[in-house]
Amino acid sequence: MARHILVAVDLWVDVSLEFLRHLCADWESILSLFTPGQHPGLLVKASAGAGDTHRGGRSVMLLRFHAGLQLVYKPRSLAVDRHFQDLLTWLNEHGQRPAFRTLRLIDRGTYGWTEFVVASECTSQEEVVRFYERQGAYLALLYALKAVDFHAENIIAAGDDPMLVDLEALFHPDVRVKLSMAERPATRAVADSVMQIALLPQRFWSTNQFEGVDMSGLGNAQGQLSPHAVPTWQGVGTDEMKIIRERVTLPGHLNCPKLNGQYVQAVDYISSIVRGFTSLYRLLCARREEFLTALLPRFAHDEIRFIARATRTYATLSVESFHPNMLRDALKRERLFDRLWMAVKQQPYLTRLIPAEREDLLRGDIPLFTTYPDSCDLFTSEGKRIPDFFDEPSLKLAGERIQLLDEQDLQRQIWMIRAAFASVSLPAIDVPEDTTRALSAGVTVEHARLISAAQAVGEQLCKSALRHENAADWYGLTWVKEREWRVTPAGLDLQSGLPGIILFLSYLGELTKDTRDFALAKSAMQTLHGELEQLKTHLDLAATSGMSICNMLGSCIYLFSHLAALWHESAWLDEAEALVVLLSEHIEKDDMFDIVDGAAGCIASLLCLYTVAPSSRTLAAAIRCGDHLLASAQAMEQGMAWRTSRHEMLPQGFGRGTTGIAWSLLRLAAVSGEGRFQQAAAAALTYERRLFSPVKPGSVDLRGGMSWSYGAPGIAIGRITSLPHVDDATIREEIEAALRTTIAEGFAYNHDHSGPNHSLYHGDCGNLEALLLATRELDAGTYREHLERLTAQLLDSIDKHGWRMGVPLNVETPGLMMGLAGIGYQLLRLAEPERVPSVLMLAPPVV
């Protein structure tokens, strides 16, 4: 500790004297630029530590003079800042509206001075609109310049001007330059999108117990809790003062505009952001050649920063290194920094950086690495050169991106903007008025209209597909652990991933005989198969992938069972049976149990395969899943139930509830002949009946729901398809009650996600499955009338308003349960239920 104190004091003296020398040397220039004609008076305050410390304790300093002048001193080159202001001026001169405000600054090569930006409120609604239009324009410009790290701390809202106050992460180098065969097109598309700038809302560090934080430039951190417990003082001013660890409330930043004293949320101004983004994007396209030849080269020799790791990683290590236990023993403190090696397996390029990282951390600094846009070399904080660290200079990569700007890319980036806001929004869905207005009874839906509507979905999936050689891929919004939305490449699950898309395209091709749909399904299968091969070489990943509809193993077993029948290729059965072997190693690790995420869904997938290709191994795996459910059940006062990490006890419903578990156990009992599964199913139904509302007929559970996953529609589906195994007056009454509730409430307003939508998971398409099954299995003409009317309503809604996704803000997403593929699939099923099996029931192919 003594050694570190001596070093810290010496560095402080050196840095302070250096600052004063620079101030004296530049005084006349400062007077001329920042306060012409008026002397600022004495320096009355110099606040260091306005940013992280680098290069021997140097940090940004905020200065205040007696007459009120405020300046910012930055101990780094401001060449990139100067050239960025020149670029803003050029854009203003060529039509950027609303115009950008520029900053006055002095660049002295290794340090510089900039004007202090004072945060201020907007004075009108029009100013708020202009603020967000400028943010959209900045987003387009930063995208073109391959920028990163524009989080909340680096932006100040000055009236209707968002001011970018830290530009060292422009032209950020890429350590993954070439698209390898192992890297998916969708992965690269997300990585190279506007999402990487950190300006758009994104939620980080979320867990089952913590919702995460949004630190983006367009987010508002006010009131959020820190993602991890941090050292804080307790009992300050007493003899019991000590350090404890706890989550603290994060301070608000100055990035969000205010109107009438209230923060104005960016999500309410998405259209303004998109308008500003589109305008500047097209301006760059129109002035592309001049931009590339006259403006971009000016940045070639400007020092920029390479962010090798998240600053939080360095900051955490630095804070921990000053714990008394570490300061007692220098060797122990140095060993702490060996944790830097933990990320090398995933990011091997870090190996060359760790010696410099350790030196900076030992000195008390946050590690710093710099480069130049026209260089492939990297430099440490002490100026040591790491040659050829990058494959290509970032200026070249930025030029290539600018060359590729076009309308197709513009639309993809606009999708990313909307998806980013959706990912942090409440699960409400913006729906136009009259979207679900009921039609009169007696409507007949033509077969051709349903097929045509499904073909339109197929065409949109074809249009949105990303291609690389013979592979096709997509990205979309994924509902992760029923906790948050994320923008991700299409996963390996049936819910939002490639298996669901392939399943729909395969059935579309089968019904229409259109070879384009088959070809697209085959191309998507190339991507999926490549991912599977990689996974087989990393078996530890399979442990985190689960077993059922929402994961790779169960989803691919189900998909391959269908492809073997649809494509007449028995090799897919071999692929499915190989996955059964892998799955069997992880059955007892399941702690979700339900259809969507647990052993119940796994049973359904395995029985689908068993129907197509009977095998003792497949049946044995299904029985193990059933026994796992029985072993995990908890005896209740009446019946049995399952406790999960998300639910105290599973609610009622099919996808996420007890109905689905009981249904899967009944099916398993019928196939295996094992009576214990029948008894367990009966006990599960007994428990579930306790959750039924005594006032309203049907099923309104404790969290509300009117969908396949929760509530009446799913209960109707489960009970109807359980009739071959259990048929009594109680079951029949529950079916009638569930169908009545579904008809009355399942289409006018979707309680699960606060608005009507067309999705399978919690929308019209999924709820129609209950009525379709009722017309086919109950032989009830009255249900057919409702089915025809509501199907016509669905088609009219699609014609009038387009597809309504089961995601926030109605962001188009390709997946099966929440998006396009599911809407298209159910349209096919409504057209030809004899040929298209129920995917909500994980039904086997019709052979």
Instruction: State the binding site for Zn(2+).
Output: 762
162 beta partners: 157
Helices (H), ranges, 322-406: 324-327, 330-336, 354-362, 394-403
DSSP 627-683: HHHHHH-EE-SSSEE---SS-SS--SSSSSSHHHHHHHHHHHHHHH--HHHHHHHHH
The three-state (H, E, C) secondary structure of 88-133, written as one string: HHHHHHCCCCCCCCCCCEEECCCCEEEECCCCECECCHHHHHHHHH
How far, in Å, are 57, 322, 342, 369, 697 from residue 313 at the CA level?
Answer: 18, 15, 12, 15, 54
CA distance 146 to 397: 8
CA distance 504 to 765: 14
Q: Which residues 6+ apart lie within 8 Å of 816 measured at CB? A: 494, 495, 496, 499, 500, 501, 503, 504, 760, 822, 825, 839
- Phi/psi region, residue 527 (left: phi>0; alpha: psi -120 to 50; beta: rest), is alpha
**Token pair of 222, please?**
């006010």
- Phi/psi region, residue 300 (left: phi>0; alpha: psi -120 to 50; beta: rest), is alpha
How far, in Å, are 286, 431, 535, 750, 808 from residue 754 at the CA level?
Answer: 42, 10, 37, 6, 10
- Phi/psi region, residue 339 (left: phi>0; alpha: psi -120 to 50; beta: rest), is alpha
Cis (ω within 30 of 0) for the bond into 98?
yes
- AA letter at 408: Q
**Token pair of 250, please?**
């994060």
What letter does residue 156 receive in the DSSP assignment? E
The greatest distance separating any two alpha carbons of the chain, rounded to the nearest whole angstrom, comes to 96
Task: Note whether 228 and 128 are within 8 A (CB).
Answer: no
From the number of C-beta atoms within 10 Å of its C-beta (0-12, 13-18, 19+), residue 359 rates as middle
Q: Give the position of tokens 């609303």.
A: 98
Task: Note whether 755 and 430 are within 8 A (CB).
Answer: yes
- Sequence ranges of the binding site: 762
DSSP 45-103: EEE--SS--BTTTB--EEEEETTS-EEEEESS--HHHHHHHHHHHHHHHTT-SSPPP--
CA distance 375 to 391: 10
Cα dihedral sign for 463, 464, 468, 470? negative
359 backbone dihedrals φ, ψ, rounded to 5°: -60, -45
- AA letter at 637: E
